[in-house]
Structure 1
Amino acid sequence: MDREFLIDLFADFGPVAIRKMFSGYGISADGINFALSLRAGLFFRADEMTIPDYEAEGSKPFQYSTRAKTVLVNSYWELPARLFDDSAELAQWARAALAAAQRAKVKKRPKAKKAVKKPANQPAKKVAKPAKAAKKVGKKSPARERATRRA
């Protein structure tokens, strides 16, 4: 799928940002990536609330193969083919995918770091130890010198 086709496809949904990603495009709205357009097809973000809809349509989750195994990405599901002809319903599915991506973003937010207090009686900085003297290059050890003389 080319960029122009994707822009037309999402016309009923609203403005989307389409950026090159892997072998295709990443599709985002409001700065949140919610769809992937790859050689294998168009995949929407899904979660426990939307996966049953994809299963009911007979869709499969995104997967790719490495040399060692096949990886199943359960957070992106293939868009049902019938939706390519129904832009209004595709827009509904896209809104659901964006909502799933927003829910996933909320779950991933890092917890606030707690401030670590230093005890008052310890120094703020550690004193660095002096570096060890380097070995002299080119000089053989006495044992090596004796071994080479005998040979």
Structure 2
Amino acid sequence: MSRAAEERPSKVAVDALLADLAPLPVRARAMFGGYGLYMEDVFFGIVTSEGEVYFRTDDATRPEYEVAGMRPFQPNNRPSGPKAMPRNFQVPPHVREDQATLRDWAARAATARR
């Protein structure tokens, strides 16, 4: 991996996130300049090229994100199709700052109803 790739905001963010989520069985796969997050082969989150983190939601969990003022993921440079991915919401800062809460929200994202 090049030094530039190692210093991308998404790489720095995903490395820190994986450390915070341990010991959950989370892995990241590079995609579109960012990363997809998987737990036991279930896609549940996104780390954008800017290092922002989004988790999958469902009707039970989405209100917690909305109350915190978070918005759904909106891909950059998407010429066609939906402008936002309404099931994936940005993780609130207070959740990112508390490892136990972050692990709980990640586990719920991985089991969010489809």
| TM-score grouping bracket, smaller chain normalisation | 0.7 to 0.9
In the TM superposition, structure 1's runs of 4+ consecutive aligned residues that sit over 3 Å from their partners are 65-70
Percent identity, aligned pairs only, is 31
Q: Which runs of 5+ in 2 are unaligned?
A: 1-9
Q: Structure 1: which amino acid aligns with 2:18?
A: I
Q: Are 1:53 and 2:52 an aligned pair?
A: no
What is residue 21 of structure 1 aligned with on the other side? 31
What is residue 9 of structure 1 aligned with on the other side? 20
Task: Give the Å deviation of 1:23.
Answer: 1.4
| Structure 2: distance between partners of 1:28 and 1:69 | 24
| Structure 1: distance between partners of 2:96 and 2:80 | 34
Task: Give the Å deviation of 1:24.
Answer: 0.6
**TM-score under structure 1 length normalisation:** 0.60
SS of the counterpart of 2:96?
helix
Q: Are 1:78 and 2:78 an aligned pair?
A: no
- Number of residue pairs matched? 101
Ranked by relative contact order (alpha carbons within 8 Å, sequence separation 6 or more), the top structure is 2
Larger Rg belongs to:
1
Task: Give the Å deviation of 1:15.
Answer: 1.8
SS of the counterpart of 2:110?
helix
Q: Are 1:44 and 2:66 an aligned pair?
A: no
| Structure 2: distance between partners of 1:56 and 1:46 | 13
Q: Which runs of 5+ in 1 are unaligned?
A: 105-151
Q: Cα RMSD (Å) of the superposition?
A: 1.9
**TM-score under structure 2 length normalisation:** 0.78
